[in-house]
Structure 1
Amino acid sequence: MKRPSRQTLEIHLESDHLVMNGSRSESPGCVLRGVLSLYLSKPTTVKSIILRFSGTMTIKWTEPAGNGHERLFREVHSLVQHEWSFLPSRSISYRINAGDHTFGFELPLSGHLPESTQVASFYVVEYQLCALVIRPSLFSDYTAQRPLYLSRQIPTPQGALTTPIAVSNQWMNKLDYELSIPTKLYAFGDDIQIRYCEFSSLQQNSLVRIASLIEDIHLKHLICKLKEYMCCPAIHGRFGGKPKRHGRIIRYLREEDFRRCPTQTHPMVWSKTLCVSVPESSKEIQCDVRSEAVRVLHRLKFEIVCQTTDGTLSGFNVELPITIRVMTGQLPTYEETCQSLPYDPALLIALRCNEDDPRSAWHLHPEFRSRSINNSSHEPLPSYSAIIRSFESSP
């Protein structure tokens, strides 16, 4: 099988999803690290090589302008701008040999930056890296782009989000129902397990349990939706004084085949095992956000539909709030971070270039093996504060 051709210019990141821990006033921020790689199949003339990092906030809305017309308002705010010049422009072009050329970069990001968010087309916060290799006239420039997702994780009291949540009630003296999930906190790629359990173990498991109180009604179907709710408050005179709201369905499940589990007190009881998967990509689902400008929340919404013996359909809705984060665990301990590999641009680019065959990167970089075996030789990683101080003191 023919191996796909390599791209000329690529941006490799240590992580394309950065997390800021703490509120905007308390967070130390995070560090953007990566490598720009340039592959040339033959000697090439270039004028300069630059990499730009930018963050923008775009807000759009319309207001009535009379006579049935609407006036469009648009605000664009620059959040962060930075440029690396790996080969500065000059009057005489550079002659670069064929082969791989790599340029490492690093930038501390302030903790007050807003999270990456998109609320339809009227509120967008996005961050992006753009690389440009400028060539002489009559030659096409080389370009590359890569988005960066920035999220925030607010510390919560121990157990505040990891304890089970449940809702139980009676509907019109016809049905008893109980819904429960084992935790409120989920991360990208997690499975939300919703399954049957006995009443006595409600606090230990997830459940969907519905019991009929009368004989002439039975469960027709159950719909479960994972929904994302977004709201932009009407601040600073935006949105015509009314908040903008938007919602979307992330996951949709419909179940009609239920298992009968009669008990002594409820002879007509239905149960069902459900599994709702949280998407792995930040393009499909966003983290929860609570800020002055935008709020993003998530809920599990259940629609329970029943049918009587004469064919009449009726139903009701139940909601369970959940929280979506990048990760569900706490920050790693100091000892755990010391056991990880120090950041090495050369190693990063070698691993990226050999993703199809990780063994090749292992053999190309024997230092990787020594670092993995002998943890005592690790040099401690610099803290965010130390990196920020070094940038501030540099000319």
Structure 2
Amino acid sequence: MDHIKRPSLSGLTGKRHSSRDRSKDDAAKGKQKRADSPLIHGQQANGAPSPASRPAKAASTMSIVIESPPNIFFGTPTQSTGALFSGQLRIAVVEPEVTLQTFTMQLLATITARKPVAKDCPECAKKTTELFKWTFITDPKTLRAGDHSFPFSYLLPGHLPASTQGMLGNLEYHLDARATTRPTPSKGAEEITFRHPLPLSRALMPAPEKNSLRVFPPTNLTAHVTMSPTIYPIGESTVLMKLAGVTEKHEDHQQRWRLRKMSWRLEETEKMVSPACPRHAGKVGGEGRGIAHEDVRPLGQMELKEGWKSDFDDGNIEMEFRIRPSGHVRPLCDVDSPTGLSVTHSLVIELVVAEEWAWTKRPGVATPSGAARVLRAQFQVVVTERAGLGISWDEEQPPMYEDVPASPPLYPQSTAPERSTSTSHPHTAGSATPAVARAAAAMNGSGDMTPVVSAMGATQRPPMERRGVTTEYDGPPLYSPSVVPQAVPALNMGGLNDALPRDEDLEDIDLGESMRRPGPPSHRNSAS
């Protein structure tokens, strides 16, 4: 066995990487061949692209700055006043100067059908409508190097449907800006384009709860449901339900329905009409028609077998539960577009009740009759975005001139009240007392008090001193009973003045010793 030699691996070591070595040799040969061959069009000797083949740098670029808040329509399409949209379209010029011949921007609405009439037809799958157009320049305009801003604004109508991306169709809004430069001897005309998406949403303001009634014939059962008319994609809503007519009483027994199971389901219904282009109108029976599609998907559901209160004496079953969309599903907001796309939501409640009877004397012992029913009720709900603290644009702006209400009546332009120089005192006007009249007449013999008033008004007013500071008093006299503003009406005592005792009669009245209040001893002595 010595003449048999085992094969060694030394002879195979040189062939282990033979394929790799061949690839290296081929690469080296190819590189040498390319180096010896003439230059390939558009490349240099080192393989880099030549300057002629490099893409030309754009002479100008566009960008947009949105200055207005998010575009949210508050209220229903018939009540919303729209949303203000404003911003600035900027052009950054790289070259020393660029001359623009046209510069416009369009607001476009695009509806896309996921199931078009013709599968490979772009006209059947997508339709674009122009809503508004801005024309920034009407004549050629030269722009120097730098940034240039062009402001724009628009009031988005409130009836526009919100942006939607559904299973059957999409509804999107975007801005499309285009500018055309003037051709030069070195290069031709250049078109600068810019596209920016513009999402629109709708938010309904919180509304009072809605009460609904459902009747389930041939039984006497009725369901009273109280719930909010709107729900939100993120969050939950409370539903109150009362089932009445549960018990039917007889003389010796009673028949009643017992609730065995309750389940709710939140469904989303999406409908889309795929229009046909003029070339494929024959497939749907004529131009202007389309194929209707419908898709229903559950957003959330729950099944309950307890958690309600049964009162068979009053014949009522009451319960409270919460509904909300599932976390792994992205619900769509309600949309009703004239282009054929609509999204609606509904709450479906199913109740399984079983009939049983019991003796009147022993209502706690019930016997099932074997009959059962499934009660199903459907309620329309609206899924909308949260309004938050936002308000409509017409409530934010200051009032217009025509909206300002009428001002209150102006006060008459009158000076300070004049001091009265009348000869009559308020107590002397009309039916004044005889004693006051005689006293007034005795002042000057004719009843004229003008000299007396003038003398009192002409007296020098005393200065007012306070904490060592002397201030000249410039007000009315400190005491002037006869100086009264004319606006003060005269007192009319009527016949009461005649009943009062006169001044000369006061001395003759003797009140009696018993009614007089004793004064100090000195006063009594001086009086006596």
TM-score, length basis structure 1? 0.50
More strand by share: 1
Higher relative contact order (CA 8 A, sep 6+): 1
TM-score, length basis structure 2? 0.40
